[in-house]
Amino acid sequence: MQVRVSRNLLMIVTMDIVLLCTSFYLAHLIRFDFDLPQWAQESFFEMLPYVLAGKIFCFYFFDLYKGMWRYTSLNDLMNIVKASTVASFVLIVFILYKNRFEMISRSVFIIDWCLTVMFLIGLRIFTRLCFEQFTEDVKLRDLFHAVQKIFRKVKGRGKGVIIIGAGDCGEKICREFRENPSVQSHVVGFLDDDVSKIGRKIHGVSVLNVIDALEHAAKSTGVDEVIIAIPSANATRMRTIVDLCKKAEVKFKTVPSMGELIDGKINISAIRNVEYRDLLGREPVTLDKKEIGNYLGNKCVLVTGAGGSIGTGLCRQICR
């Protein structure tokens, strides 16, 4: 099997090698109270090649070099723990077979395991945090402006928004605000009628209060825009929320209803102004999708007047 070695892979492996060397050396220093005897130094340099080879092999076997650090997940962190554990076990067995730990401290490998896991997880989490603030095409000459942007967000300056609805839709919108580099605004809080959610956090952003407390929340946070992230809200509920927004004197936008979302995905581009159809006082029509699918399946459909609101809605439903 041919393995393609990229520049990024070489850089990642090099960084890991540096951390592994540091971890193994620190383990010796901690074991001997930062006063290495001569025999321990000789043991360190003798064992270092085996330690690096064994750990790098285990890391590759556990796919640590196939993931993208910018999307580091809990699964990736668990793989680091597993790979480090297996590597330490293999090294202990190897040394036990080779010289039965003569002139080699056993506790060094326990300390080394702890430091290895801590360093590797720390590096990957730090990388992900950096990518959440910087895009990969940020150049050195733009670094100062990026730092200024982060500083403004930390200080709470700039344009802030409140998301109404701390459910799945609100979570996706909040994540888009955090990860989309083209968005200048930032989420300062959520509002939700589920009182059990108040005080809890989503992506580090707190659920401030119930929806009826919008006016107080807007004044206390200083926001001037609200996003209604409740696709399942009926017309009556939408009218109530819109009235609250007008009373609080804030701008308001909404996400499309579930019927408008062709693929079910919600992102920044889907946010739009509240329209009259959102406030119509009728219950949504439930369509028999199975029967419609049997009728339209494998057919070429022509929709006249597709540029209007009704034709557009028909096209969306037919595509689904």
Per residue in 253-303, pLDDT (tens digit) is 887 655 555 444 555 555 666 655 555 555 556 677 788 888 888 888 888
Q: Is the pLDDT of residue 156 over 50?
A: no
Angle of helix 74-99 relative to helix 107-133, nearest 10 degrees? 160
Between 5 and 89, the more confident residue is: 89
Q: Is the pLDDT of residue 154 over 70?
A: no
Q: Is the pLDDT of residue 131 over 90?
A: no
Average per-residue pLDDT in the chain? Answer: 78
CA–CA separation, 18 vs 251, rounded Å?
Answer: 52
Backbone torsion region of residue 70, taken as left when φ is above 0, otherwise alpha when ψ lies between -120 and 50, otherwise beta: alpha
Q: 120 with 19: CB under 8 angstroms?
A: yes
Q: Beginning with the edge strand found earlier in the chain, give each strand of the sheet holding 160-164 in spatial order.
A: 201-202, 205-209, 186-191, 160-164, 225-228, 251-254, 272-273
Q: Is the pLDDT of residue 151 over 70?
A: no
Task: Give the strand pairing for 251-254 and 225-228.
Answer: parallel
Q: Is the pLDDT of residue 6 over 60?
A: yes
143: pLDDT confidence band, cut at 50, 70 and 90?
A: very low
Report the first-to-last Cα separation within the chain, whole angstroms.
Answer: 42
CA–CA separation, 154 vs 55, rounded Å?
Answer: 38
Give pLDDT tens digits for 81-125. 999 999 989 888 888 887 777 777 788 889 999 999 999 999 888
Each domain of the chain, given as residue ranges in start order, spans 7-133, 157-286, 287-320
Supply the pLDDT for residue 38. Answer: 86
Supply the pLDDT for residue 100. Answer: 77
Task: Output the CATH code of domain 157-286.
Answer: 3.40.50.720
Closest CA to 250 of 156, 163, 152: 163
User: Range with the lowest mean pLDDT among 102-111, 190-199, 245-254?
Assistant: 102-111
Residue reference for tokens 């003798």: 46
21: pLDDT confidence band, cut at 50, 70 and 90?
A: very high
CA–CA separation, 13 vs 212, rounded Å?
Answer: 53
CA–CA separation, 128 vs 72, rounded Å?
Answer: 6
Between 238 and 184, the more confident residue is: 238
Q: 221 with 162: CB under 8 angstroms?
A: yes
Supply the pLDDT for residue 66. Answer: 73
Residues 6+ apart with CB under 8 A from 280: 235
Q: Is the pLDDT of residue 210 over 90?
A: yes
Q: Is the pLDDT of residue 187 over 50?
A: yes
Q: Residue 40 has which token pair?
A: 């321990």
